Structure 1
Amino acid sequence: MTTSALPRLVAPRLRPRDILRVGAAGLRTRPTRALLSALGIAIGIAAMISVVGISSSSRADLDRTLDALGTNLLTVSPGRTMFGEDAYLPDDAEAMIARIGPVRSTSAVGAVDDVKIYRSDQIPRAQSGGLSAYAARTGLLSTVGATVRSGTWLNEATGKYPAVVLGADAASRLGIGRAGPEIRILMGRDWFTVVGILDPVALAPELDSAALVGWPVAQERFAFDGHPTKVYTRSDPAEVENVRAVLGATANPQAPNEVEVSRPSDALEAQRAANTAFTGLLLGLGAVALLVGGVGVANTMVISVLERRAEIGLRRSLGATRGQIRTQFLAESLLLSAMGGLGGALLGVVVTFSYATYQGWPTVVPPWATAGGLGATILIGGLAGLYPAIRAARLSPTEALAAP
């Protein structure tokens, strides 16, 4: 029989299940080292995710605080005509503004002219105390960030009847410390029951010295014409400038030049600067943590190759190909990285939740941080294990078996 007639031995191909089993066997034979290596990766990933999560939670708390300062609050009010006369907003200005996509909420007040406000009918008519009367929409409180100190806010029912909510300064000037059904004030010629008193409104200080009544009762009792004198809008913070650019034309399409729109708060620029700084910090810390994890994987796999030269030589002698040896060590590296990444992601989420809860912040763990951390860990683990895997595959059987 000639040599060419001899059957050619072909090593069986490893199925994915076999690759997983062979890779896991290498980790099971050295559980302590595998555990410590995975722990090192887990600590690095947990550090990255917890830093990203804690920073994101802190940023969310900062955004919440800055939003309370009115970074996304814009106001629309009537200006003057080209002849110098007072302009007015259309009755449907509020509804038209609400149609702007990035606008989250709108509300309005309308000045009720020639209405004097008194604590008693025994006070001289000339001593009105400089208080203003406004018709108010029921959604005003949430839009301007106001809170009720005593009593309640106007609703669809009380807005139709002689009920009034006083601003903080207005209540102080009238000598009213609490709201109640027995507390009444004189507005014009009608008695109104004080159903609520507001705390000072930082974003709309004009409301502090105002008496606020429902839109329907203002039209019925005071001949209010229904034109809003100030429309408050809350927009997506990222779109405030774009919203501001179209507010005038939207509120009064017939005469946009007769509309005055407030400028965004300076806090909006501070918010953007803080977000930029946080983003750079998170990317830097994440890169360092992943680099540390990759170095740990590479170190573990190189040492594993050096210690297992006899095993590699025996497998090569029994017919294992270079590709199978390379696949085995690469699979070990990937499994080690995956174990550390999953454990680190879980630990990072727990640390973030615990710290954010302790600080009273909203808990925010960006999905990109968790998914990116896991994906990058496996990618870096694969790259880190590639050199040891190639080195193991290049060992000849005789060289490996002869190693001490």
Structure 2
Amino acid sequence: MAAPARSRPPHPRPRPVPARMRAGDVLRVGAVGLRTRPLRAFLSALGIAIGIAAMIGVVGISSSSGAEVDRTLSALGTNLLTVSSGTTLMGEAARMPVEAEAMIERIGPVRAASAIGKIGDAKVYRSEEIPEAQTGGISTYAARLDLLSTVGATVHRGTWLNAATERYPAVVLGASAAQRLGVGAVGPDTQVVVGGIRFSVVGVLAPVPLAQELDAAALVGWPVAESRLAFDGHPTTLYTRSDESRLESVRAVLASTANPEAPNEADVSRPSDALAAKQATSQAFAGLLLGVGAVALLVGGVGVANTMVISVLERRAEIGLRRSLGATRGQIRLQFLAESLLLSAVGGAGGIVLGAGVSTGFAAYRGWPAVVPLWATGGGLAATLVIGALAGLYPAVRASRMSPTEALATP
């Protein structure tokens, strides 16, 4: 009798392989939450946008300010050195020799030299009716004719002193001095009182970045200062232009050349260093504002995280349905992570546009060159993506861990 045939066990059915989500699918699925809840998405993106706009705006304005300083230095030059009268060992005001300017001109690398001399007793008033105590902080200086070309100054209204007017009661006012005196027009009929004598205002200077002491000054000719204002002829500040390559060597000998008997009583400075220090101060303040922008960005990231957590709680039924239809945990994670990244990217793009617009508009208002560094915009966008990934990571993991039955049973 033949043995009965043995039954073979049925082959196990192969488990279905979940379909892989392409990039377009990820974007479409991730955008579902944004489309269905536009107001919430807008408010969350707004938090990110404010933080990025603050950072881009601070960097852009700071960079534009630095570009303006660089442009000013390029136009005025960084080879200007000044020698000023210091103080004696007894604390009294020192005096440079009358020949100091001529001695400095003998230094080989010095291309130009000029001088001003302060006339301490010559107070400046709009008229004789002004009380003596109300000087407005305006100082009177005797000035050489080549002063403007040496310091890089320009005349805003009127003319500069010449060989004729330097011998007569004619005065050129600095920018802030003219404003304090209320002088708007120039000419023979516009007069101010200098040292008790009426002087005609022949010109008004534009602000002088490298010689700011001239902004609050009344400048008269050297000869008329000696003949009418009892000026002693001693310069108080000397301005020199030197070869850029030999600037430091000139700087080393300026004090001893200007005042050979007491070099320690002469102060040598480089005005462009003050502008560079101002730029450094501005950058330090910008760093503080960047910190504020970073805090605002962090607050925006918390808003995104909160939105995503609420979205997961509200969409449990959707998560359960997708899991029942074969979606894997990884796909669920990817969906909510993509939604968080999209939300942050929208906010970051808006913040970049807003920050660049603010910095460009402010630079245009101040007359600065508009500079928005590429690294700032790229870094801002990268920061938003990092914030979005961190903000969406926990909600995405939480959504992926929901079982289909748990999610579908949730009311």
Name the TM tier (shorter chain): 0.5 to 0.7
In structure 2, the partner of 1:145 is 153
User: Aligned to 2:52, what secondary structure does the other structure show?
Assistant: helix
The aligned counterpart of 2:240 is 231
Unaligned runs of 5+ in 1: 96-107, 112-129, 154-163, 180-195, 212-228, 236-242
Q: For 1:151-192, what per-residue CA distance to the aligned partner results, in whole angstroms no more than 9, with x for missing partners?
A: 5x8xxxxxxxxxx84698x2753699769xxxxxxxxxxxxx
Q: 1:203 to 1:287 in 2, by over 3 A?
A: closer
The equivalent residue for 1:347 is 354
| 1:393 matched residue in structure 2 | 400
- What is the match of residue 336 of structure 2? 329
Partner residue of 1:220?
Answer: none
Deviations 1:203-255 (A, max 9, x none): 586994558xxxxxxxxxxxxxxxxx9533699xxxxxxx8xx5243689xx8
Q: Do residues 19 (structure 1) and 13 (structure 2) align?
A: no
For these two proteins, the number of residue pairs brought into alignment is: 307
* Residues 1:199 and 2:205 aligned together: yes
Hey, what does 1:173 align to over in structure 2?
169
How far did 1:376 drift?
A: 1.2
State the Cα distance separating 1:297 from its structure 2 match: 0.6
Q: How far apart, CA to CA, are the structure 1 residues paired with 2:41 and 2:247?
A: 62
Question: Structure 1 29/382 Cα, relative in aligned 2: closer, same or farther at 3 Å?
Answer: same
Aligned CA distance change for structure 1 residues 49 and 166 (closer, same or farther; 3 Å): farther
One-letter amino acid of the counterpart of residue 80, structure 2: L
CA distance in 1, matches of 2:67, 2:383: 28
**Distance (Å, rounded) in 2 between the aligned partners of 1:312 and 1:364:** 49
Distance 2:62 2:384 in 1: 21
- Tell me the distance in 1 between the aligned counterparts of 2:65 and 2:164: 32
Instruction: Answer whether contact 2:336 2:395 (CA < 8 A) is retained.
Output: yes
1:93 equivalenced with 2:102 (yes/no): no
> Is structure 2 residue 236 aligned with structure 1 residue 249?
no
User: RMSD across aligned C-alpha pairs, in angstroms?
Assistant: 5.0
Deviations 1:115-152 (A, max 9, x none): xxxxxxxxxxxxxxx9886668xx927x523325435x
Q: How many Å apart are 1:290 and its aligned residue?
A: 0.7
- TM-score, with structure 2 as normaliser: 0.57
Q: Secondary structure at the match of 1:6?
A: coil
Whether contact under 8 Å (1:149, 1:197) holds in the other structure is yes
Scaled by the length of structure 1, what TM-score is found?
Answer: 0.58
Instruction: Provide the secondary structure at the position in 2 that maps to 1:262.
Output: strand
SS of equivalent to 2:241: strand
CA distance in 1, matches of 2:279, 2:363: 22
Matches within 5 A, 1:198-347: 199=205, 202=211, 208-209=219-220, 231-232=240-241, 247-249=247-249, 262-265=268-271, 267=274, 271=278, 274-275=281-282, 277-347=284-354
Distance 2:274 2:164 in 1: 25
Is contact 1:132-1:209 (8 Å) kept?
A: yes
Q: Secondary structure at the match of 1:328?
A: helix
CA offset at residue 332 of structure 1? Answer: 0.6
Structure 2: segments with no counterpart, 5+ residues: 1-7, 84-95, 116-140, 173-185, 189-201, 223-237, 259-266
Other-structure match for 1:75: 81
Q: Name the structure 2 match of 1:156.
A: none
2: CA distance, partners of 1:167 / 1:207: 18
CA distance in 2, matches of 1:383, 1:342: 18
Query: For 1:36, which of 43, 53, 74 is the aligned residue?
Result: 43
Counterparts of 2:143 and 2:40, CA distance in 1: 77
